[in-house]
Amino acid sequence: MGLKPQNTVNIKNKKAFFEFEILETFIAGLQLQGTEIKSIREGRAGLVDSYCQFYKSELYVKNMHIAEYFFGSINNHDAKRERKLLLNKKEINKLERKIKESGFTIVPLRLFLNEKGYAKLEIALAKGKKTYDKRESLKEKDTKRDIDRVMKI
């Protein structure tokens, strides 16, 4: 009658929402080594400055940091290695077509564990924001915070 541990791993890339305009999101599986999933379950991963890139019609996430597993031996993984993303062929073709257009990129938004315990990466087709767009989103955030403060009182 032991309680099943909840999958509370939810690592977000907050910088991506500020730097990019998100157009469409996808959920992709990750091809991981044994010690990588153990580190992710401990919440020792980061998505800052990570990006996705195509290589021979396959999508890879680059610069994603997964800390080395503490109890890993000689078989421990490299912290910043390229990891293959697992998507349907139709989704890969759609993303590849969009990337060939100028100004589009694929950014990782969130790393999480699904109900079955598999690591999933939420990626987005995005377009870079201009500096005035960034200022506008900061103003909106400030006004929303001020409104919430007033409503609280």
Expressed as residue numbers, the domain containing 128 is 10-152
Query: pTM of the prediction?
Result: 0.77
HSE-up of 62 (CA within 13 Å, CB side)?
A: 9
Q: Is residue 32 part of a domain?
A: yes
Q: Which residue has the higher pLDDT, 128 or 121?
A: 121
Question: 3-class secondary structure for 45-100?
Answer: EECCCCEEEEECCEEEEECCEECCCCCCCCCCCCCCCCEEEECCHHHHHHHHHHHH
Q: Identify the band that residue 1 occupies on the pLDDT scale cut at 50, 70 and 90.
A: very low
Q: Is residue 148 part of a domain?
A: yes
Determine the average pLDDT of the residues in 88-109: 89
Say what the pLDDT of residue 26 is: 93
* CATH number of the structural domain spanning residue 113: 2.40.280.10
Mean pLDDT of the chain: 84
Determine the average pLDDT of the residues in 136-153: 86
Say what the pLDDT of residue 102 is: 76
Q: Is residue 92 part of a domain?
A: yes
% of the chain beyond a pLDDT of 90: 24
Total structural domains within the chain: 1
Q: Is residue 1 part of a domain?
A: no
Residues 36-80: pLDDT tens digits?
888 888 888 888 888 899 988 899 999 888 887 777 666 676 667
With b for 16 or more beta-carbon neighbours within 10 A and e for fewer, the 37-69 pattern comes to bbbbbeebbbbeebbbeeeeeebbbebbebbeb
Q: Which residue has the higher pLDDT, 77 or 108?
A: 108
Q: Is residue 138 part of a domain?
A: yes
Q: Identify the band that residue 151 occupies on the pLDDT scale cut at 50, 70 and 90.
A: confident
Say what the pLDDT of residue 3 is: 45
Q: Is residue 4 part of a domain?
A: no
